[in-house]
Amino acid sequence: MLIKSTSAAGDGFHMPAEYEKHSGTLLIWPVRPGSWGKDPSDAQRAFIEIARALSPNEKVYFLADSAHFHEAEAALKGIAAVIKIPTNDSWARDVGPTFVSNGSEIRGINWKFNAWGGEYDGLYTDWQADDKAAAGFCDAINKDCYDLGDLVLEGGSIHTDGEGTLLVTESCLLSKGRNPELTKEEIEEKLKTALGITKVLWLPRGIYNDETNEHVDNVCCFTAPGEVVLAWTDNMSDPQYELSKADFEYLSNETDAKGRKLIIHKLPIPDIPICVEESDLTYEFEEGEDTREAGERLAASYVNFYFGNNILLLPQFGGVNVKSDARALKIMSEICPDRKVIGIDSKAILLGGGNIHCITQQIPDIL
């Protein structure tokens, strides 16, 4: 059932942290030729690997349209439940519901989705199925859903500690293609009432060349209350340097909702930028869809990881960045010693425009 109230907080609901216990995770079967190429099998293998890693400890759901439902069911047999709901692409983080909880019940939030910018700078022109996916999934699992369809927002643009603090980036939330009629203060107030938040931290920037207008989930996230991990580079000639430096300086001078100074863990991006190669250009784009070209730098970041129950799924890019991959595994294992950190070969997901966190959406557990 869609709930018209815009104040989940007024009902006693708040958004839990991703590192809190899940009842499940939502993904979407990847088939769009403009994201995954004419042959999406590499991306599908990565999605299956993620589902297989999660499934021993929580329920895994996939959405698939009618044309690919049986294909997805066969590939995910014994791993995930497949639900017949159409979407335009496979970014569950952004089109799926954001879940809130009051400790004994969970509800979804249905934001307005416009393909990361609508007519101004959106990445494709038809997003109607994506915009209906959140409410459809809530219906399928019998959960109520707040209708916040007047606010354009994607799940990848917010990250919370579960204790009243929310991370966002100014570059994304204040972009002209989302909510140009709202002031920064008005957007902040809507987020507070929707998510049970008391303090919003506005990082200036995200990852260089991130086509989402720099989602926060690619540059910074909470690993525990009072602790964040921030994408970083010491290479002053890299365009990411100034972006990460601005975020570090901002976070260093802020406190969270509880008044704590933040512990900032630096997580270096790949030492060698990952760019689209000629051999990667197997895409088939629709009219009006954002395209790719050889040499284009991709927004590769190890911060785009995902917390599952007792595990952390970390992007790995391979090739010339094997040492960078190993370094990221070591750092995250030290930051999260109570979790098994599992490296996932996610180059195929990166070529689609995102990474592990972008394709997953957590469903919180209840007490």
d(CA 87, CA 65) in angstroms, rounded, equals 7
Q: Which are the contacts of 97, defined by CB distance < 8 A and separation ≥ 6?
A: 108, 109, 110, 134, 135, 137, 138, 143, 145, 361
Neighbour count for residue 58 (Cβ, 10 Å) = 18
Domains in the chain, number = 1
Q: Which domain holds residue 33?
A: 2-364
pTM for the whole thing? 0.97
3-class secondary-structure state, position 362: strand
- The one-letter amino acid code at 61 reads Y
pLDDT band at 250 (very low <50, low <70, confident <90, very high): very high
For residues 182 and 123, is the Cβ–Cβ distance under 8 A?
no
d(CA 31, CA 36) in angstroms, rounded, equals 6
- Checking if the pLDDT of 76 tops 70, the result is yes
The pLDDT value recorded for residue 5 is 64
Q: Average of pLDDT values for 281-299?
A: 94
For residues 231 and 241, is the Cβ–Cβ distance under 8 A?
no
Catalytic residue among 138, 145, 172, 358: 358
Q: Is 358 a catalytic residue?
A: yes
The H or E element containing residue 276 is none
For 317, the token pair is 């890019």
The CA–CA distances, whole Å, from 68 to 63, 251, 317, 330 equal 10, 44, 28, 38
For residues 108 and 137, is the Cβ–Cβ distance under 8 A?
yes
d(CA 352, CA 154) in angstroms, rounded, equals 17
The CA–CA distances, whole Å, from 127 to 26, 90, 155, 242 equal 19, 12, 16, 33
130-175 per-position pLDDT tens digit: 999 999 999 999 999 999 989 999 999 999 999 999 999 999 999 9
* Half-sphere exposure in the Cβ direction for 248 (13 Å, CA): 16
* CATH number of the structural domain spanning residue 187: 3.75.10.10
Sign for the pseudo-dihedral over CA of 128, 347, 265, 227? positive
331-362 per-position pLDDT tens digit: 999 999 999 999 999 999 999 999 999 999 99
